[in-house]
Structure 1
């Protein structure tokens, strides 16, 4: 038997669908809190020293956190080539806006303290705000568009044609999802500041965390209601071959109102995901009231896990529906790389993903503790 045949093609596809979810959730959990801190920087810190404390809570870790974004993009490119081709071409201007905002982050961190002027530093503080707010908003808008379907079609030779526009992505439901993403990551960032700071900064962070947690609960509920009432779901009506060739055109698809909720009726255990989205945010409110600093951060991670998981579970097996040619929608079963490619990548991932996780855990353990004013004035490596 050839080695890669130890795991059948259909199972490998599901494994890589799960791994893609792990990487996307990993990015939201790990890089999400420093995006949230960036959004809160102009508000959590009132004086220059307070803002330096805010920046230095994420200063040693933000670059390493972005590894998860690179891993997620790489996984899409290697495991789901059609998904990469459609999303990175159709969402090109959106991706460019994210990239431009993310570029502001390292520049802001490095240049903010190059001059003593209050105006200079204030401008860079707002640049860091943009570097946190814009990616959080656009990532959420992208998820909202994926749930609604994207205007792309496939030719008979599987060439991809995108019929949409950048401003078409900014529709009401997608913007609602964008606001949910902003609230969710602001909650996460505020909980990080509660854990890593003290005094007035931590007190303000607690207030922002409460507001963001309530906003997360409200927007998530509103998003679910809008998904049920106004967004059509997709369903495969032809025979599914989990180990068949990667040809999205070899199936038939129909749409129906509220169709994204069908999986919950078929598999009730999936309801655990949206439940965790709500319960995690509610536990954040409880943790803030009871003074559980580590707990509130873990609870916000739980909420993020539930919210993002609910999207993937609702859509399964679809990963990118098409609004103009539903039969061309990309699914787990027909948009993956070859059997051998998925197996080799899985072998590499099994080796390197635990190493990345172990190194990350070691780095956070080494940098454990609150950032105080003495750490800023007495440390030559502080921002």
Structure 2
């Protein structure tokens, strides 16, 4: 491995950062579409207004899913034990998410096939489910990671998940789900308010104001719950960041408020929750002031801060085990080999800039206000 210019520890850290970037990218970019879908039946009152919202996200939503696909691929290739445990243990929850996400492309294509108001209303609610359910369950998943997942490993590193779907619906996990839903609805409202006009934009501002305030309050409540009511995980044995993969070669203890320890060790991490609060407060103020672009930028900053707070609090843990804490998966003992991480990094350095450039070009082409008048001029509109 001496020919590889980066040591194992550095590559593991780089891939932890890249995984975080991909997941945050999906939360921001995919959150635009999920948020608009969750608001569809409430913000838009007429068929024309609902068509405006469909055409607001219809041309770009598929491209935004690239972040989710890349995030899943990064977990599979960079942290295979994490992929094995999470994708099998949370199988039913992921099926629910996938079924909800499938409703979106079907809804976009089939809603306009029949002019019957009942037909279109049914697909509007299907699109609502496609935005609401993933937004909620993704947050519930993060909450369960902070609580610890019920799994253990045997001597051959085979994973055994001992939980079920309903055990995922713990009060703290549901709170995290509401935080996720609130920040994504705020993102969707900022998009609608920024690219539409008239009553549609005004209603979006009203819902966005409520969701931003709810997100701020729920995020603060979650922080207090973490400090006072949730046991955090701490590695108490010596950690070798360059060691071979072996999740069982460590000792772990649980302490109340342990997820806050990183903020004492690395004071700069406090920027994450500060940005989370600042972004949502900024989105709230910008929506009230009718500042279009600042509202979207502030909402995106809030999503970045809130999501980063979860990741930084967990570090170096990827998926703690609530049944056998020593089996918890961390950045240091659940990664792929040194050579695999390096080759993947080279591939990523080539393709990720292309994806960013293409995404920027698409949004530049699709910029501007969407209105009923613009739909009449577009024969390909939904």
Range class of TM-score, shorter chain: over 0.9
Distance 1:294 1:36 in 2: 16
Secondary structure of 1:31's match? helix
CA drift at 1:246 = 0.8
Distance 1:352 1:279 in 2: 32
Aligned counterpart, 1:361: 360
Distance 2:262 2:71 in 1: 25
Report whether the alignment pairs 1:17 with 2:16.
yes
Question: What CA deviation, in whole Å up to 9, does each residue of 1:88-118 have, x standing for no partner?
Answer: 0000000000000001000000000100101
Secondary structure of 1:6's match? coil
Question: What CA deviation, in whole Å up to 9, does each residue of 1:150-200 have, x standing for no partner?
Answer: 000000111100010110001100001011111110000000001111111
Question: What CA deviation, in whole Å up to 9, does each residue of 1:218-259 have, x standing for no partner?
Answer: 110111111111110000011100000010001111010000
Report whether the alignment pairs 1:105 with 2:107.
no
Distance 1:337 1:74 in 2: 13
Aligned counterpart, 1:53: 52
Aligned counterpart, 2:279: 280
Aligned counterpart, 1:327: 326
Matches within 5 A, 1:22-101: 22-101=21-100
Secondary structure of 1:336's match? coil
Distance 1:42 1:290 in 2: 25
CA drift at 1:279 = 0.4
Matches within 5 A, 1:1-383: 2-3=2-3, 5-383=4-382
Distance 2:228 2:128 in 1: 34
TM-score, with structure 2 as normaliser: 0.99
> What count of residue pairs does the alignment treat as equivalent?
382
Choose 29-38 or 373-382, whichever is displaced more: 373-382
**Is the Cα–Cα contact under 8 Å of residues 89 and 163 in structure 2 kept in the other structure?**
yes
Distance 1:130 1:289 in 2: 28
CA drift at 1:347 = 0.3
Distance 1:234 1:104 in 2: 38
CA drift at 1:2 = 4.9
CA drift at 1:290 = 2.4
Distance 1:87 1:300 in 2: 29
Distance 1:85 1:337 in 2: 13
Moved segments of 4+, more than 2 Å: none
Distance 1:227 1:123 in 2: 40
Distance 2:53 2:347 in 1: 37
Distance 2:300 2:280 in 1: 9
- Alpha-carbon RMSD: 0.8
**Is the Cα–Cα contact under 8 Å of residues 205 and 288 in structure 2 kept in the other structure?**
no
Distance 2:209 2:288 in 1: 9
Gap runs ≥5 in structure 2: none
**Is the Cα–Cα contact under 8 Å of residues 140 and 181 in structure 1 kept in the other structure?**
yes
CA drift at 1:289 = 2.5
**Is the Cα–Cα contact under 8 Å of residues 234 and 321 in structure 1 kept in the other structure?**
yes
Distance 2:303 2:135 in 1: 13
**Is the Cα–Cα contact under 8 Å of residues 54 and 201 in structure 1 kept in the other structure?**
no
TM-score, with structure 1 as normaliser: 0.99
CA drift at 1:287 = 1.0
